[in-house]
Chain A
Amino acid sequence: EAGVAQSPRYKIIEKRQSVAFWCNPISGHATLYWYQQILGQGPKLLIQFQNNGVVDDSQLPKDRFSAERLKGVDSTLKIQPAKLEDSAVYLCASSFIRGEQFFGPGTRLTVL
C-alpha cells in the first residue's frame, strides 16, 4: 500500500517569496492534516480537512498561509509571503475518520 506522498522534500526561498507544498494522502483516507514542525519542537497542527471541508484551522496564520483540498484527495499548502520564522518541516498526515494518522516524509523549508 502506498504511503502519504509529499513534494518537494526540500525547498529554500528568500523571505517575502511564496511557496507551495503538495500532499497526496493514502487512498480512501477522508481526513488530511498539515502539521508544522519547527526545529527542536513537536509538530503543531495547522489545518485539518475532512473530505473537502475544514475541520480545524485555528492555528493557521491566515494572513499568509492558505490550504485547499480539491475533490477531497490531494492537498496544497501555500505560504505567501514567507517569513524567516516559517522555516520548519511541514508534515502531511492522513487517516480514516478519527483513525490512526499516517505521516508523509515531510518538506523541509528554509527561508533566508
Chain B
Amino acid sequence: AQTVTQSQPEMSVQEAETVTLSCTYDTSESDYYLFWYKQPPSRQMILVIRQEAYKQQNATENRFSVNFQKAAKSFSLKISDSQLGDAAMYFCAYRSALTGTASKLTFGTGTRLQVTL
C-alpha cells in the first residue's frame, strides 16, 4: 500500500516571501501521479499542482512549483511571493497510474500554512 507523509504540521511565512512544504511518499509502483491540494477554511479541496512520475521536469503553476525527486520519493511544494490568500491547509496526495485499478487519492496529514504581514 502507498503512504504519504507530511512531517510539518504547521508552517509560517511572511507575505511576499518564499516557503517550501515537504512531502515524502512510499510506493513500489513506477508510474503514478503526485498532487498538492489546498484546503481553505471553506473546506473545498482545490488542486494546486500535479506531477506525472514519468516526467523529469518539475511542474510549475504561476507562483507554485514542485521539486520532484523520484529516487528519494520526495515531492516538495514551493510557494513564491506568498499572499494572504495562500493561507490554508495543504495536502500532498498520491494516485496510481496503473490502468484497471481504482483511482483513489492517498493523502498525507496536511500542513497548515499561515501567512503573516
A interface residues with partner B (beta carbon < 8 Å): 31, 33, 35, 40-45, 48, 55-56, 89, 91, 93, 95, 98, 100-101, 103-106, 108
Contacts and interface: CB of A to CB of B under 8 A. Distances in A.
B109 A93 contact: no
A43 B43 CA distance: 11
Contacts, number: 50
Nearest to B107: A42
Interface of B: 4, 42-47, 50, 91, 93, 99, 102-105, 107-110
Nearest to A55: B102
Tell me the interface secondary structure of chain A in the complex.
strand
> What 9 pairs across the A-B complex have the smallest Cβ distances?
A42-B107, A56-B102, A103-B45, A45-B104, A106-B43, A98-B103, A55-B102, A105-B44, A43-B107
B109 A91 contact: no
16 contacts: A42-B91, A42-B107, A48-B102, A91-B43, A93-B45, A95-B103, A98-B103, A100-B47, A101-B47, A103-B45, A103-B46, A104-B44, A105-B42, A105-B43, A106-B43, A106-B44
Contacts of B42: 105
Nearest to A95: B103
Nearest to A42: B107
A106 B109 CA distance: 17
B96 to A, nearest CB: 10
Given A93-B45, A108-B43, A48 B109 contact: no
Given A33-B104, A55-B102, A42 B43 contact: no
